[in-house]
Structure 1
Amino acid sequence: MKNIQNIKLKPTATIREALAVIDSGAMQIAIVVDDENRLLGTLTDGNIRRGLLSGLSVDGGIKDIYFKTPTVAKMSDTKEEILKVALAKKLHQIPIVNELNCVLGIVEIDELIKPKDKTNRVVLMAGGLGTRLGELTKTTPKPMLHVGNKPILQTIIENFSKYGYTNIIISVNYLSHVIEDYFGDGSTLGVSIEYIHEKERMGTAGALSLMRNLLKEPFFVMNGDLLTNVNFEHLHDFHKSQEAIGTMGVREYDFQVPYGVVNIEDGRISSITEKPTHKFFVSAGIYMLSPKALSLIPDGEFFDMPSLFEKIINEDNKALSFPIHEYWLDIGRINDYEQANSEYYEVF
């Protein structure tokens, strides 16, 4: 949110004064307010040009040319809500007001769209064999299979980069040269990539023991064979605000029993439920961990994420779930791979 002190105008201002304010403010807009700082309207160089073309003098007043019903936002509005309105109405700035309609600042939409670079690292697990995909992974690591027009891993990296997370660590093992040759140092994608080589497969958490010195602040861990459009910034904010040691992205999974379930008490049938559906939460393969979690990981051993979260829980540290309602697909089997290709362009 930008300060508006230097772009304020009173409704009695002249067009000449408005031009000076718009020019000096470098935001291409002026805010018209009353003596109580209540928003009366906005004024752009477009409004001024139309006024001058209609015959007004630069020494004339702005009262007839400023826009008196501007779109505004509240402090409580999320970035997504503001963006949705701005893009729908093709706005470049939106004033922020309080409940009394007093102006608090102004949001520039270009600034909202542009991600702010964050120092938090993203660890991508890309060392698996992908044996369930058969011939597809004989010469290609699963994260490098093309979905849409690019490798799965590239879509993952681009999605993190979209939210400003550009410090990437890729844990590699099987056919690691294919990944390293394709991405290099990441500069072609506008990110920085480092590689950690697992000499033996160490599990989704075990490989983190090889990079302790790199992980000094909360970091993401994600399997390299997932496609999702989850908002990584929301996951980060949730983890940070709750002061968690480990936050696990979870996905609701439904399982329908294909038979009528007979409920029995003391040998007697108490009820029959026809083909009930059971709902569970399962790990989505997306995590955020605080550096403290690294002390719970043994050196040089196979260690997976469920074991790490069990340790976090057993030591009375905070382990939280983050439900993922957005698109999510684990590409583990041939039919998952086919589904991903059929949905890719619609989703991404």
Structure 2
Amino acid sequence: MKMKVVILAGGFGTRISEESHLKPKPMIEIGEKPILWHIMKIYSYYGFNEFIICLGYKSHMIKEFFADYYLHTSDVTIDLETNELKIHNNYAEPWKVTLVDTGLNTMTGGRIKRIKPYLPKDEPFMLTYGDGVCDVDLNELLEYHKNHGKLATITAINLDARFGVLRIDDENTITQFSEKSKADGGWINGGFMVLEPEVIDYITDDTTIFEKAPLENLAHDGELKSYKHRGFWKCMDTKRDHDALEKMWNEDNAPWYIWKE
């Protein structure tokens, strides 16, 4: 399947500053692999292998990770005298990765608008954040999106209210999107979205925060649907979140590890 997967990986990660002052948040590792890699493995498991990664803060580190990926996953012999490199065996991911510098201070909506030239004009694309893992069935999510015919689908998670709170009617249409409400409980924006190209028309410029006017206006227009996911989801928002994910991985109890053989 050639559908593009857009991953927002350009933020500063200020709430996990213990590590993000050294590297971009999506490069913080779980089980010796960046969380960005884990997210891409989830998509790849369902056959989505074409990625557009929106870069910003310390973008060179993400570029270098992919530029060196083949070497890092190979057994090699290096002849230092002749500077020859011999590859013995390699396991490479079936990924095509487009890395786009979307600006250091660009907001989430602005980053999406900047990668418009890399997106097909007439088919939907996936979108998620570079810091959250989930065991959502992406094929079911896509099928649900195609069947309801609206412009946008958000994977809704029933969790606490640190994130955008969704008001959902009986037909799973999101009637109101409120970013980071202080209300207790409720369905929240878990990322793992499917969007039609027209969604980009709701974004004004680099200063547009996607979770504010664009999603609020999509909800107002009746074009925003929820796909309710009652399984595992966790965002690596703080060091405590990271430590919890690392513990799950080390204890072989990581629900997002769906590609496990």
TM value normalised by structure 1: 0.57
Alignment counterpart, residue 94 of structure 2, candidates 190, 194, 204: 190
2:24 is the alignment partner of 1:141: yes
Shift of residue 169, structure 1, vs aligned partner? 0.3
> For the structure 1 residues 326 and 201, does the alpha-carbon distance in structure 2 shift closer, same or farther, using more than 3 Å as the test?
farther
Q: Which residue of 2 aligns with 1:334?
A: 239
Kindly, what percent of the aligned residue pairs are identical? Answer: 26
Alignment counterpart, residue 205 of structure 1, candidates 82, 99, 109: 109
Shift of residue 254, structure 1, vs aligned partner? 5.0
**Contact 1:130–1:142 (8 Å) recurs in 2:** yes
Shift of residue 186, structure 1, vs aligned partner? 7.4
Long gaps (5+) in structure 2: 71-91, 162-182
Q: State how far apart, in whole Å, the 2-side matches of 1:206 and 1:336 are.
A: 27
> For the structure 1 residues 238 and 306, does the alpha-carbon distance in structure 2 shift closer, same or farther, using more than 3 Å as the test?
farther
Shift of residue 149, structure 1, vs aligned partner? 2.9
2:62 counterpart SS class: helix
**Cα deviation 1:116-159 (Å, max 9, x = unaligned):** xx111000001111122223112111111111231100011111
2:159 counterpart SS class: strand
Q: Which residue of 1 aligns with 2:10?
A: 127
Q: Which residue of 2 aligns with 1:346?
A: 253
Which amino acid in 2 is paired with 1:236? L
Higher relative contact order (CA 8 A, sep 6+): 2
Alignment counterpart, residue 153 of structure 1, candidates 36, 39, 42: 36
> For the structure 1 residues 237 and 153, does the alpha-carbon distance in structure 2 shift closer, same or farther, using more than 3 Å as the test?
same
2:163 is the alignment partner of 1:247: no
Q: State how far apart, in whole Å, the 1-side matches of 2:99 and 2:127 are.
A: 14
**Contact 2:107–2:206 (8 Å) recurs in 1:** no
Shift of residue 229, structure 1, vs aligned partner? 1.8
Aligned-residue CA RMSD in angstroms?
Answer: 2.0
Pick the structure with more helix per residue: 1
Q: Which residue of 2 aligns with 1:166?
A: 49
Q: Which structure 1 residue ranges, 4+ long, deviate > 6 Å from structure 2?
A: none
Which amino acid in 2 is paired with 1:289? L
**Contact 1:167–1:191 (8 Å) recurs in 2:** yes
Alignment counterpart, residue 131 of structure 2, candidates 197, 216, 225: 225
**Contact 1:247–1:289 (8 Å) recurs in 2:** yes
**Contact 1:184–1:193 (8 Å) recurs in 2:** no
Which amino acid in 2 is paired with 1:205? G
Write out aligned runs for 1:175-324 (5 A): 175-184=58-67, 188-216=92-120, 217-254=123-160, 279-314=185-220, 316-324=221-229
Which amino acid in 2 is paired with 1:233? N
Which amino acid in 2 is paired with 1:250? A
> For the structure 1 residues 154 and 248, does the alpha-carbon distance in structure 2 shift closer, same or farther, using more than 3 Å as the test?
same
> For the structure 1 residues 305 and 185, does the alpha-carbon distance in structure 2 shift closer, same or farther, using more than 3 Å as the test?
farther
Comparing 237-246 with 305-314, greater Cα deviation is found at: 305-314
Shift of residue 282, structure 1, vs aligned partner? 1.0
**Cα deviation 1:14-36 (Å, max 9, x = unaligned):** xxxxxxxxxxxxxxxxxxxxxxx
**Contact 1:245–1:317 (8 Å) recurs in 2:** no
Shift of residue 200, structure 1, vs aligned partner? 3.5
Q: State how far apart, in whole Å, the 2-side matches of 1:186 and 1:243 are.
A: 38
Q: State how far apart, in whole Å, the 1-side matches of 2:68 and 2:187 are.
A: 36
Q: State how far apart, in whole Å, the 2-side matches of 1:226 and 1:186 are.
A: 22
Long gaps (5+) in structure 1: 1-117, 256-276
Q: State how far apart, in whole Å, the 1-side matches of 2:248 and 2:12 are.
A: 24
> For the structure 1 residues 135 and 235, does the alpha-carbon distance in structure 2 shift closer, same or farther, using more than 3 Å as the test?
same
Q: State how far apart, in whole Å, the 2-side matches of 1:185 and 1:167 are.
A: 18
2:142 counterpart SS class: helix
TM value normalised by structure 2: 0.74
Shift of residue 175, structure 1, vs aligned partner? 0.8
Which amino acid in 1 is paired with 2:142? H
Q: State how far apart, in whole Å, the 1-side matches of 2:184 and 2:38 are.
A: 33
Q: State how far apart, in whole Å, the 1-side matches of 2:105 and 2:146 are.
A: 30
